Amino acid sequence: MNTHQSPRALDLLFPTPLHIEEREGSYRLHHTTTIAASPPFETLADTAAQLLGCKRGGEDILFKHEPNLEDEEYRLTISKVQIVVAAATVRGAFHGLSAVRKLALLNDNILPACKVSDKPAFVWRGFMLDCVRHFFSVDFIIKLIDVASLFGMNRFHWHLTDDQGWRIPIDGWPRLKEVASKRTELQYLDGRTYGRMYTKEEIARVQQHAHSRQMLVIPEVETPGHVSALLAAYPEFGCSGGPYEVQDRWGIFDEVLCAGNDAVLDFFDDVIAQVAALFSDPYIHIGGDECPQAEWERCPKCQERMKKEGLSAERQLQSWLTSKISAMVHARGKRPIGWDEVLDGTEEMGLPQDLIVQSWQGVRGGIEASRRGHQVIMSPNTQGCYFDYRHLDSAEEMGNLGVSTLHQVASFTPIPADLDEDAKRMVLGAQGNLWTERVLSSRQAEYLLFPRLFLLAQQLWNPQGPEKNLAKLDLLERYCAHLDLSCYRGRSK
């Protein structure tokens, strides 16, 4: 029986688990609570002790290996005397720990007794942060990783190069740091600059934290468009030879990589090798979006390349470059991901078979790619996955370009209705993307991210649909208060 003093676990947990039974009583978490773990959960138990404010030792909280469960599945049993998390993998056990953390956070360390059996619907549950248009500190990135992983997210896509900056340290190319990592603030006349590179130590810190939260980090290196910062540093990689500027404006720029210059390929071979060494997870995002072809039409070197490779249209240069850069990624033992424009101009060359396509211009690219046998990440800007868009269509709201309502996110599913079964299996999951042209500070970023990120997390974990999700907005605001997150508090549809 419930009393007012003890809320139900079901009313506290978000994402709502797959199965939950409420039990009598509660467990009071205390600094004397002890934690034990059977292999392979010893390291996770250390993390748990730190996060819950408990100590290693006895079996008040027990992480138990249950090899028959699925990869990310967990069972959580909370009784008056013990908490048991059972899982087959550290990933699964981490999700069990997250449930314990959330109950403790919201209910003053008094955990309602319950039995939970839970696992996610989709394997790819991600968010992207653009750290180029505006720079975000590693402390903030770590805060976001912590929060997102608490809600079952498991992919951090780190957008690191673009027209307005280059933020990955690459040895042997000093002008990336000297020139490409900062831009002149054109609105000021005193020559002040904005931005910097992340250091290798900072990149290592982000990954270490992400991995401790069972989250993979996917660095993005943009090709062949959105490269003004790179061209400002190394103008020979552009068709005209420059001069170029690190952009202080937002948009799509005609200046792109020269597809006819072998030095461009040599540069990216080196970059991909170094990025593959800096980032230990299996994926590298190679961009591919919004690449105008006007310069390729005018450039003798690009025209020569087309002739030599038997390409009949400039748009095929994009797919030619995609195949070259993808091969570099493969050569370093990683898998490439590209925005859905990588499908353009592929009539003749096709796409490298294991290229993962990220569908952002609606779901069209995702549908086509999945039908062509490619794995797909959905982040349609038409269905709530663009968190840089306004929360609602009002000039009073911050945001850029479009609208992503809470209702849209709360209704979102990565699988378009008319996909056949084979194509459905190719959809790995989805991402929410935060571009930061108009996001100057981490507090603004939070306002755009929350509660949309939570709603997306639910839809990727255990889809509930808009009615049930939106009924939880008060709960999500409580989470934000406890986690020191700014959030949007509107209720209109």
Contact between 344 and ligand ACM per CB under 6 A:
no
Choice between 11 and 290, CB closer to ligand ACM: 290
Q: How far apart are CA 380 and CA 340, in angstroms?
A: 10
For the CB of residue 465, give the shortest distance to Zn ion in the complex, in Å.
49
Q: Which residues contact 478 (CB under 8 A, 6 or more apart)?
A: 106
Looking at beta carbons only, is 290 or 344 nearer to ligand ACM?
290
Strands 376-378 and 356-359: parallel
437 near ligand ACM, rule: CB under 6 A? no
Residue identified by tokens 């470059």 is 321
Would you say 202 or 290 has its CB closer to ligand ACM?
290
Query: Which residues on neighbouring strands pair with residue 335, listed in sequence order?
Result: 283
Minimum CB–partner distance for residue 12 and ligand ACM (Å): 35
Shortest reach from residue 261's CB to Zn ion, in Å: 6
Query: Is residue 37 packed enough to be buried (19+ CB in 10 Å), middle (13-18) or exposed (0-12)?
Result: buried
With CB under 5 A as the contact rule, which of the stretches 118-126, 143-151, 171-179, 259-267 interacts with Zn ion? Answer: 259-267
Instruction: Rule CB under 5 A: choose which of 299, 351, 419, 487 binds Zn ion.
Output: 299
CB of 84 to ligand ACM, least distance (A): 43
* Angle, CA of 252, 256 and 260, to the nearest 5°: 155
Q: Closest Cα partner for 369 from 339, 391, 389, 396?
A: 339
- When CB distances are held under 5 to 8 angstroms depending on the partner's kind, the choice from Zn ion, ligand ACM, none that residue 360 binds is ligand ACM
- For ligand ACM, the binding residues in 235-294 under the rule CB under 6 A are 289-290
- Which one, 22 or 289, has the nearer CB to ligand ACM? 289
| Side-chain-facing half-sphere of 147: CA atoms under 13 Å | 23
Q: Which of 186/252 has CB closer to ligand ACM? A: 252
Among 260, 338, 432, 466, binds Zn ion (CB under 5 A): 260
Structure tokens at 464: 């509930």
Q: Is the sign of the CA dihedral 433, 438, 442, 448 positive or negative?
A: negative
Residues 465 and 402 sit within 8 Å (Cβ to Cβ):
no
Q: How far is the CB of 222 from Zn ion (least distance, A)?
A: 17
**CB 406 within 8 Å of CB 490:** yes
Q: Measured at CB, which residue is nearest to ligand ACM?
A: 289
Least gap, CB of 289 to ligand ACM (angstroms): 4
Residues binding Zn ion: number (CB under 5 A): 6
Q: Establish if 339 lies at the interface with ligand ACM (CB under 6 A).
A: yes
Number of other CB atoms surrounding residue 254 within 10 Å: 16
Shortest reach from residue 166's CB to Zn ion, in Å: 20
The partner in contact with residue 299, picked from Zn ion, ligand ACM, none with C-beta cut-offs of 5 to 8 angstroms by kind, is Zn ion
**For 425, left (φ over 0), alpha (ψ -120 to 50), or beta?**
alpha
288 Cα distance to chain centroid: 17
Amino acid 56 reads R
Positions that interact with Zn ion (CB under 5 A): 239, 258, 260, 299, 301-302
- Rule CB under 6 A: which residues touch ligand ACM? 289-290, 339, 360
